[in-house]
Amino acid sequence: MRTGRALLSLWVAAVFLWSLPAGGQSSQDATPPRPKILLPLSDPFNKGNWTVDASMSDEFNGTQLDSSRWRTNIVGWPGRPPALFVDHNVAVTSGALQITMQKEAVDEQFAKLGYYDYTTGAVQSTRSVLYGYFEIRAKAMKSAGSSGFWFSDKDQNNWNEMDVAEMGGRPPANPRRVFMSVHVFEEHGVKVTQNDTSSAMLRSNVADSFHVYGMHWSPTWVDFYIDGRLHRHLRNTGWHTPATMILDAETQVDWWGMPLDRDLPSVFTIDYVRAWKQATQTTH
């Protein structure tokens, strides 16, 4: 009996240490809830009063996109040239959201805007959210195009962005690198240039297997996670307005050049989107 209790105590201690943020400091605000099985390990008594935010979550188990939660394309932006966002590159199949990039002619009306020969897809949440914990389980495209998971708020007075994961699964992109960034472009009607980009290196190609990409967004911190491990811990100095969630595929010419045609079509596959909120946090 004593041996059993001793083992249990060691297990609890190990779980506690595993759940601490980087640097070994215990901080309830800096540590987001863990999903499903992991949630009780990091917060066994739910002291943070976390609940599932169903309006921002989706298991993609149907046969079509839930229009009450998501819209195809991004309001006010047709894509990063030369690849144009089009509806037919977004599909829900085999229990996953699939966003495709392919070599394909675009309508002539978009040529004057710099779009040509390539199409991609995007999904944007119909609601905005302010603070919470959000994650996707996803496998990046096996091309130099960017597979992205990000949040954006843009209106007449504010424009900011939080990029949870941007990654390319083929050279010239580094297929093991995941970029995590925050930006402020406009604040209270004043143009601002605030960019903070960092990256993490995975052990294998981001397109070879599924990984869990997460963000804890609180009034004081913005934290980025990959597979449950904290990779960035930033003080929240400019992200305090409701934002939409976006999943998309883009060409990233400035970063990686054009994806090779032989790698197309390529597919960004999202197994699920899951979100949690606290009692003081709401969706809009």
Average predicted confidence (pLDDT) for the chain: 85
- 167-193 mean pLDDT: 92
> What distance in Å separates the CA atoms of residue 201 and residue 176, rounded to the nearest whole number?
5
What is the per-residue pLDDT across 258-273, written as a single tens digit (0 to 9) for each?
999 999 999 999 999 9
CB 220 within 8 A of CB 236: yes
CB 177 within 8 A of CB 197: no
Which structural domains are found in the chain, ordered by start? 51-277 (2.60.120.200)
Decide if pLDDT at 10 tops 50: no
Residue found by looking up tokens 């843009």 in the block: 154
**Strands 190-201 and 177-187, sheet pairing:** antiparallel
Residues forming beta bridges with residue 137, ordered by sequence position: 212, 272
- 4-14 mean pLDDT: 38
Percent of the chain with pLDDT over 90: 68
Minimum mean pLDDT range among 90-99, 174-183, 225-234: 225-234
Which residue, 189, 191, 126, 198, is CA-closest to 162?
Answer: 198
> What distance in Å separates the CA atoms of residue 69 and residue 54, rounded to the nearest whole number?
9
Q: Is there a cis peptide before residue 219, judged by omega within 30 degrees of 0?
A: no
**DSSP codes joined into one string, 54-84:** GGG-B---SSS--TTTEEESBTTB--STTEE
**DSSP codes joined into one string, 89-106:** GEEEETTEEEEEEEE---
pLDDT given at position 44: 61
CB 135 within 8 A of CB 227: no
> What distance in Å separates the CA atoms of residue 131 and residue 133, rounded to the nearest whole number?
7
What is the per-residue pLDDT across 18-76, written as a single tens digit (0 to 9) for each?
333 333 333 334 444 444 333 323 566 666 678 889 999 999 999 999 999 999 999 99
> What distance in Å separates the CA atoms of residue 33 and residue 51, rounded to the nearest whole number?
10
pLDDT given at position 281: 61
- Dihedral over alpha carbons 81, 83, 87, 92 (to 10 degrees): -120
Those residues whose C-beta lies under 8 Å from the C-beta of residue 250, and which sit 6 or more positions away, are 79, 80, 83, 120, 145, 146, 148
